[in-house]
């Protein structure tokens, strides 16, 4: 489904409620979508904003990487077009046998910014534990001239070293090889400073304590069949959610809301 506003254009698939494109008129695309992505049942789309739920990574007792929300078919429930020209889409994940009594909705706002909110309500009589993450792929001009700021002093789990806990010492996270880090206990926004495209992307978030930063670099790029060998040079993942030590425990009757707002400025 394509959405056009006075400021921007977006695209969303009901498969995984997957926002695949968002581009402000006159700017390069904000989201990155692999040219090699599969678009088939049971497979995640490579790029855009995969919805990671109800688990992140591949826990020993779970089947498949990053949960199942991104490979299930969602339903479009409502399209709202406020007078300001923005468009708001509300989608829902049909009842899943793995999550009895769990209502899952997704609200996407398209204007001069892109917002996405994953809403999980526990209607069962048991507490619900889960991880959630909006696994956002962002377009950048040249990975060697990019830094992610706002994480100095924050602890992270280094997924390249068995999730060893470390502390970020740099003002800006740069990329000279594969980076795969789960920054924990951090509610704040981060910025992606792209010298090549002369753009700053702001990733603001609500009800999120984890920020994941990932670039696959050369070897992993080659190993992914749904990703171009050189695409690592033009993308970075900055993901917002509640992962690992920040997993969510949702009591009966409560609602969890994970929201991300992506904005950008060039020049």
- Residues contributing to the site for ligand TA6 (CB under 6 A): 44, 57, 65-66, 135, 159, 180, 212, 214, 237, 239
We find the least distance from the C-beta atom of residue 231 to ligand TA6, in angstroms, to be 13
We find the least distance from the C-beta atom of residue 43 to ligand TA6, in angstroms, to be 10
Nearer to ligand TA6, 184 or 237 (CB): 237
* Closest to 259 (Cα-Cα) out of 108, 68, 57, 80: 108
Q: Which residue has the tokens 């077009």?
A: 81
Which amino acids are annotated catalytic? 135, 239
We find the least distance from the C-beta atom of residue 96 to ligand TA6, in angstroms, to be 19
Would you give the distance in Å from CA 85 to the centre of its chain?
25
Nearer to ligand TA6, 25 or 58 (CB): 58
The 8 Å CB, 24+ separation contacts for 153-161 are: 154/183, 154/184, 154/185, 154/186, 154/211, 155/183, 155/184, 155/185, 156/181, 156/182, 156/183, 156/184, 157/181, 157/182, 157/184, 157/244, 157/245, 159/57
We find the least distance from the C-beta atom of residue 206 to ligand TA6, in angstroms, to be 20
Nearer to ligand TA6, 66 or 199 (CB): 66
We find the least distance from the C-beta atom of residue 123 to ligand TA6, in angstroms, to be 29
Nearer to ligand TA6, 3 or 221 (CB): 221
Tokens at residue 261, please?
Answer: 């707002």
Residue nearest to ligand TA6 (CB): 214
Please provide residue 38's backbone torsions phi and psi, each rounded to the nearest 5 degrees.
-85, 150
| CB half-sphere exposure, 79, CA atoms < 13 A | 10
Give the H/E segment covering residue 105: strand 102-110
Nearer to ligand TA6, 66 or 259 (CB): 66
Please say whether the beta carbons of 265 and 192 come within 8 A. no
* Closest to 121 (Cα-Cα) out of 208, 207, 250: 250
């Amino acid at each position: 489904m394509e959405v056009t506003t006075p400021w921007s254009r977006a695209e969303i698939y009901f498969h995984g409620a997957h926002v695949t494109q968002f581009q402000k008129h006159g700017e390069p695309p904000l989201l990155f979508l692999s040219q090699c992505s599969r678009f088939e049942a049971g497979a995640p789309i490579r790029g855009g904003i995969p919805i990671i739920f109800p688990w992140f990574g591949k826990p020993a007792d779970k089947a498949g990487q990053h949960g199942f929300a991104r490979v299930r078919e969602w339903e479009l429930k409502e399209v709202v077009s406020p007078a300001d020209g923005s468009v708001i889409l509300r989608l829902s994940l049909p009842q899943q046998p793995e999550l009895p009594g769990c209502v899952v909705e997704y609200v996407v706002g398209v204007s001069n910014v892109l917002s996405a909110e994953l809403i999980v309500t526990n209607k069962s009589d048991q507490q619900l534990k889960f991880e959630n993450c909006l696994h956002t792929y962002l377009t950048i001009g040249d990975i060697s001239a990019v830094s992610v700021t706002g994480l100095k002093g924050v602890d992270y789990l280094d997924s390249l070293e068995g999730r060893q806990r470390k502390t970020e010492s740099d003002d800006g996270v740069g990329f000279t090889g594969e980076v795969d880090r789960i920054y924990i206990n951090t509610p704040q926004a981060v910025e992606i400073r792209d010298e090549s495209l002369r753009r700053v992307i702001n990733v603001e978030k609500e009800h999120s304590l984890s920020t994941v930063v990932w670039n696959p670099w050369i070897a992993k790029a080659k190993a992914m069949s749904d990703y171009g060998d050189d695409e690592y040079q033009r993308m970075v993942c900055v993901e917002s959610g509640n992962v690992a030590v920040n997993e969510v425990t949702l009591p009966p009757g409560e609602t969890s809301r994970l929201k991300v707002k992506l904005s950008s400025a060039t020049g």
